[in-house]
Amino acid sequence: MAAITKRPTRLSDGRELIYYDDADTALSPARKPDGREPAPRPATATMRQDPLTGEWVSIAAARQNRVMLPPAELDPLAPATPTNPSEIPDLYDVAVFENKSPSFGPLLEDGNAPEGIEDLAQVGLERTRASVGRCEVVCFSPATAGAFGSLTPSRARTVIEAWADRTAALSALPGVRQVFPFENRGEAIGVTLHHPHGQIYAYPYITPRTSALIRSLDSYGPTLFADILERERASERVVLAGEHWTAFVPFAARWPIEIHVLPHRHVADLTETSAAERDELATLYLRVLRGVDALYDSPTPYIAAWHQAPVGVRRDEIRLMLQLTSPRRGADKLKFLAGSEAAMGAWVGDIPPERAAAALRDAVAKADRENPVGELPVSVTGLVTEPVAPASTTDREADR
């Protein structure tokens, strides 16, 4: 048994960088410092309210400057080299850092920050609030290509531990109302980097999707998630089930590929999952993702979204849920959100969920044969925090 090690440090401009070393890591504790000259942080964006819906839109112009599909030798998420002074100064297993071009933040407090849920719920004309919060990048691997599904079980387990740890830390920040880890995969989804990575948004409000969920809970009652899980586990829409988690195609799936993953007991977010639940999730989730890729001869684009309960709101009723969606409806076909879906929010499904689930079960079985996930090499005992050890003089000289 071994622990995952957390090593927090700072980049040259003051942004937080956290290394998470695998339980079976081959890395030393030493990490080189960020050798770049400090650059100024962008101004915090401004949210504007849409009075037709009451929703808030963050106008983050700094995002226009982010890099777009660079070659591997200029990957900004790869470990830094003399010819590529990237965001991460040294080798790593998993690394998390503050986004250089955030949609929310870098400020956490501001004179025009939201004054609470009630303030944000009021509807008016030309209302603005500062886009306080935090956006982070989660690097799954130092490799320059791949996705979560290409990770080893040990590395997947480290990412899950990092998600849980960052959810706890971000939920404790002033003004943060909801924490959202996610992965965008594929150019069809709009990714700007091929590097295997995800992101975490810490919002200053409860998101529209979660607000709609709360309205459903108000109508149905507090047993909504337990009843959904019971019904789905008895259906022909189950894709994969373990001792602690079940993956299924939902009854009213919108997307050609749509998989939900629910824990068998109530947990509000990743921080509340046990070590055993995280261990199983590492391999079950990899099997699901490799199954998705086994549907066709080329990698499938997707969004993997971890829906978590808001900070301090309805946590006894809202259950942690992964929702994985893909617009791919055939080997060479994508579902585009056109008039009905994009303009009116009125969805039309292309593939019956039961048929999609059968295809996914077959694809998972194929992936298990041709690209098996395997088991965790060691049992993970949790997370320990240790300082970054200084790099040796030899290492520093090699960078010059």
Cβ proximity of 215 and 190 under 8 Å: no
User: Would you tell me the crossing angle of helices 208-220 and 224-233 to the nearest 10 degrees?
Assistant: 90
DSSP character for 343?
I
Q: What single letter denotes the amino acid at residue 334?
A: L
Phi, psi of 222 (to 5 degrees): -75, -10
Phi, psi of 247 (to 5 degrees): -105, 130
Pairing of strands 30-31, 389-390: parallel
Of 147, 145, 152, 196, the residue nearest 22 (C-alpha): 152
DSSP for 124-148, please give it.
-TT-EEE--SEEEEEE--S-SS--G
Catalytic residue of the set 197, 244, 260, 307: 197
Q: What single letter denotes the amino acid at residue 101?
A: S
Phi, psi of 22 (to 5 degrees): -55, 155
Helix H, strand E, coil C: the string for 148-202 is HHHCCHHHHHHHHHHHHHHHHHHHCCCCCCEEEEEEEECCCCCCCCCCCEEEEEE
Residue 197 annotated among the catalytic residues of the structure: yes
Distance CA 55, CA 47 (A): 10
Distance CA 282, CA 293 (A): 17
Distance CA 198, CA 32 (A): 23
Distance CA 29, CA 9 (A): 12
CA-CA-CA-CA torsion sign (347, 352, 354, 356)? negative
Residues with catalytic annotation?
197
